[in-house]
Amino acid sequence: MAMDTSEAIEYLEQMMAYNSEEARKYEPDFMRERMEKAHDVAEIAIAALTEKRDKEMPEEQKNRFKEEQLVVYKHPGLNECEIGKIKRLCDDGAFVWYHTGETAAKTRYEDLYPISNEHYIVKTALGGEGEG
């Protein structure tokens, strides 16, 4: 089964975290150096794959969203999510309110997920409006 670019990035990030932990366990310097080099190579690969993924971002991904839409933001590399409300769409992401203030954070489309039953959420305080 072939990996897509996002899956490859996630795999390399997990591998880097594992290698960092494992490198600390080894006393022989040559093993620690090999693990550190693998970590450096993974960082380079992640940067290249991230750039490739961002360039290949299909226009239809942007079209999944609209202003005032409620979304879930999944933090890359973490098992945490936040609910947000889209303030404004851009070519490479959206400005999203995650709190009651007027400030919105620019968020990449690949980290946003539409909420399919958002019509049941009739009122939020996101963006300071206090309306749905």
CATH number, domain at 111? 2.30.30.140
Tell me which of 14, 29, 55 is where a domain ends: 55
One domain, residues 81 and 116: yes
**35 and 70 share one domain:** no
Confidence of residue 101 (pLDDT cuts 50, 70, 90): confident
Does residue 69 share a domain with residue 51?
Answer: no
In this prediction, what percent of the chain has a pLDDT beyond 90? 23
Mean pLDDT of the chain: 79
**Whole-angstrom Cα distance, residue 43 to residue 66?**
34
9 residue type, one letter: I
User: Are residues 71 and 120 both part of a single domain?
Assistant: yes
113, 88: one domain: yes
The token pair at 77 is: 């590399």
| pLDDT above 70: residue 126 | yes
Range of the structural domain that residue 42 is part of = 5-55
Strands 105-107 and 112-114: unpaired
Structural domains counted in the chain = 2
Radius of gyration of the chain (CA): 19
Closest CA to 19 of 53, 48, 45: 45
Q: Are residues 27 and 46 in the same domain?
A: yes
Please give the pLDDT value at position 80. 87
Same domain, 45 and 87: no
Residues 42 and 94 in one domain: no
Convert the pLDDT of each residue in 10-62 to its tens digit.
778 887 777 666 666 666 666 667 777 777 788 888 888 777 766 665 566 66
132 band by pLDDT with thresholds 50, 70 and 90: very low
